[in-house]
């Protein structure tokens, strides 16, 4: 794992780990949050039941570089794109957005199409997620 320091300013990568929708399965979100923190990132976890509006507002307010969303209820096809739409509405295009959870392979292309950088499904190691974020984070504010 790298040191997760932004090369431009030396600022740590800031990540919002978010649970959109109503499902309470946040074991994965919490494990990922801790792994990102152990990899040297600053992590904010939203807690459960966040609306897309709340997630986007938190991301802007906390000035994060990355939004990592987790859904296990099957609502991803509705809620992930909604987050992307809201980000675009707010003129935000430099936040890296990734998703995870129980997400069927066949749903992934459309989610990527709408701007989710990658989707991590069950069995993904946290080090893969860390590496992906380090290599793909867009901004160093």
105 is a site residue for another protein (CB under 8 A): yes
Residue with Cβ nearer another protein (4 or 46): 46
24 is a site residue for another protein (CB under 8 A): yes
120 is a site residue for another protein (CB under 8 A): no
Residues 30-59 close enough to bind another protein by CB under 8 A: 30-31, 33-35, 43-49, 51
Rounded Cα gap, residues 9 and 103, in angstroms: 36
Contacts of 37 (CB under 8 A, 6+ apart): 43
78 is a site residue for another protein (CB under 8 A): yes
Picking from 3, 8, 70, the residue whose alpha carbon sits closest to that of residue 42 is 3
Rounded Cα gap, residues 104 and 131, in angstroms: 23
Rounded Cα gap, residues 52 and 135, in angstroms: 26
77 is a site residue for another protein (CB under 8 A): yes
61 is a site residue for another protein (CB under 8 A): no
State the burial class of residue 53 (Cβ atoms within 10 Å of its Cβ: 0-12, 13-18, 19+).
exposed
Place of tokens 């794109």: 81
- Binding residues for another protein, rule CB under 8 A, total 38
CB of 23 vs another protein, minimal distance in Å: 6
In this structure, are residues 80 and 20 in contact, taking their beta carbons and an 8 Å threshold?
yes
21 is a site residue for another protein (CB under 8 A): yes
11 is a site residue for another protein (CB under 8 A): no
The pair of structure tokens assigned to 82 is: 């909604």
Footprint of another protein on this chain (CB under 8 A)? Answer: 21-27, 30-31, 33-35, 43-49, 51, 73-79, 82, 102, 104-106, 121-123, 125-127
């Amino acid at each position: 794992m790298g040191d997760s320091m932004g090369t431009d300013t030396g600022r740590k990568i800031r990540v919002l780990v978010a649970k959109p929708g109503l499902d309470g399965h946040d074991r994965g979100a919490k494990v990922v949050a801790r792994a990102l923190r152990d990899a040297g990132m600053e992590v904010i976890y939203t807690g459960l039941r966040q609306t897309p509006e709340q997630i986007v507002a938190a991301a802007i307010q906390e000035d994060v570089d990355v939004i990592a969303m987790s859904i296990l209820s099957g609502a991803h096809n509705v809620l992930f794109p909604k987050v992307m739409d809201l980000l675009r509405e707010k003129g935000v295009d430099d936040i890296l957005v990734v998703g995870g959870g129980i997400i069927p392979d066949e749903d992934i292309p459309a989610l990527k199409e709408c701007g989710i950088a990658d989707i991590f499904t069950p069995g993904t190691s946290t080090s893969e997620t860390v590496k992906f974020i380090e290599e793909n984070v867009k901004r160093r504010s």
